[in-house]
Chains A and B, each alone.
Chain A
C-alpha cells in the first residue's frame, strides 16, 4: 500500500463509450500526476496538477480530459478512445515545494484499460 488508490483496476470499453478513472491519495500531497504505461515504451507523463491547477499537459489528445476537484482526488475522463489507447494508466502523487524540488512520487496500482 503506497497511499494512492485507483479505481477501477480493470476497464474494458468500446470506442464510443464514456468512462472515468479515479485516483485518490491519502498522503497529504499537493501534486498529482497521470501517466500512461504501454508495452515496450517508457512511462509517459500525461498531466500534472499542482495545488489543484493543471501545470502540465504533455500534448495529450483531447479525448483524455483530467479533473482535479481537490488535492486528494484526480480523475481522467475518457471519451471516444482508440484501440491504441489501451494501456496501464498510473496515478502518482508527491509533495511539491514551490515547483523547485521534486520529491518522491508515490504511484497507485494503475488501471488496466482495454479499448475494443
Chain B
C-alpha cells in the first residue's frame, strides 16, 4: 500500500510570512499533484509535477518534485489570508492503476491578517 505522509498537519501564520508543506513517501510516483480545498468545496488542482527534480511556480507558490519522485514540497512566499485552506498532495502510481490517486492527510493552513 502506498502512503503519502504530509506535514505539518496544521499551520497558523501571520500575513507576510513564508511557509513550506512537505509530502513524503517511500514509494515512487509517476506524477504528484497538489490540490487546495476550501470549506464546503471539493479539492481544486493547483499543479501537477511529473519529472524528478522539477520545479513549478504559480505566482507566490513554488512546487518541487524530488529527484527520486518520492517526495514533494509546496512553498508559499508572503502568505496572504486568501491562501487559507486545506492543501492536499496526491500521488499517481501510473501504469494501469486506473486513476488511483493516493492522498496525503492534508495541511490546514490559516493565514491571519
Contact = CB atoms under 8 A, between A and B. Distances in A.
Interface of A: 2, 4, 9, 31, 33, 40-43, 45, 48, 50, 55-56, 90, 92, 94, 96, 99-102, 104-110
Given A42-B104, A42-B106, A102-B94, A31 B99 contact: yes
A4 B99 contact: no
B74 interface: no
A106 B48 CA distance: 13
B50 to A, nearest CB: 10
The size bracket of the interface on B is 20 to 34
Nearest to B86: A37
B12 to A, nearest CB: 17
B48 A56 contact: no
Interface string B21-34: 00000000011010
A43 B44 contact: no
B63 to A, nearest CB: 15
A1 to B, nearest CB: 10
Given A94-B99, A96-B99, A102-B30, 19 more contacts: A2-B44, A42-B103, A42-B104, A43-B88, A43-B101, A56-B98, A90-B42, A99-B96, A100-B94, A100-B96, A102-B99, A102-B100, A104-B33, A104-B45, A105-B45, A107-B35, A109-B41, A109-B42, A110-B42
Contacts of B100: 45, 48, 56, 102
Contacts, number: 69
9 closest pairs, A vs B, by CB? A107-B42, A43-B103, A42-B103, A102-B99, A102-B92, A55-B98, A107-B43, A42-B105, A99-B96
Nearest to B42: A107
Interface of B: 4, 30-31, 33, 35, 40-45, 48, 88, 90, 92, 94-106
Nearest to B89: A42
Most buried by B among A45, A55, A102, A104: A102
Nearest to A91: B42
